Amino acid sequence: MEDLMDKAEVKRFGKHRSRSAARYQLPGVAIVMALCCAACGAMQNTSPQDYVFATGRVCQANAHGIFVSRVSPDGSQYWLQVNAAGPWEHFVPRFRACMADQFKANPYEAWLEANKAGK
């Protein structure tokens, strides 16, 4: 029975089964890759994310290599990244305090209005 299946496979796929099978899989892989690229290109930050990133850029001046690396879509959480050697543990609380001060000094609603006018 196994011999019959091998002959049937040879008849269906030819002698080089792997090349024939790959020929049928290639269009599917190309379509999936195109969809992934299109999805990544369509993704952009939300307004709260842009607000937190902009606030983080203000605080980077005295941050010694600390910056906001990621923000949740609603802007309620942000993650910091450190690209510096040395005692960065002392600068993280300062950076967070700067962020809190900037959030108070420039509230989201005011920032949103200013950026709508600029666009």
Model pLDDT, residue 73: 97
Q: What pTM does this model have? A: 0.62
Model pLDDT, residue 108: 96
Burial call 78-116: b when 16+ CB within 10 Å, e when fewer:
bebebeeeeebeebeeebeebbeebeeeeeeeebeeeee
Share of the chain above pLDDT 70, in %: 62
Dihedrals phi, psi of 46, to nearest 5 degrees: -80, 165
Write the secondary structure of 91-108 as one string of H (helix), E (strand) and C (coil). Answer: HHHHHHHHHHHHHHHCCH
40 versus 63: which is more confidently predicted? Answer: 63
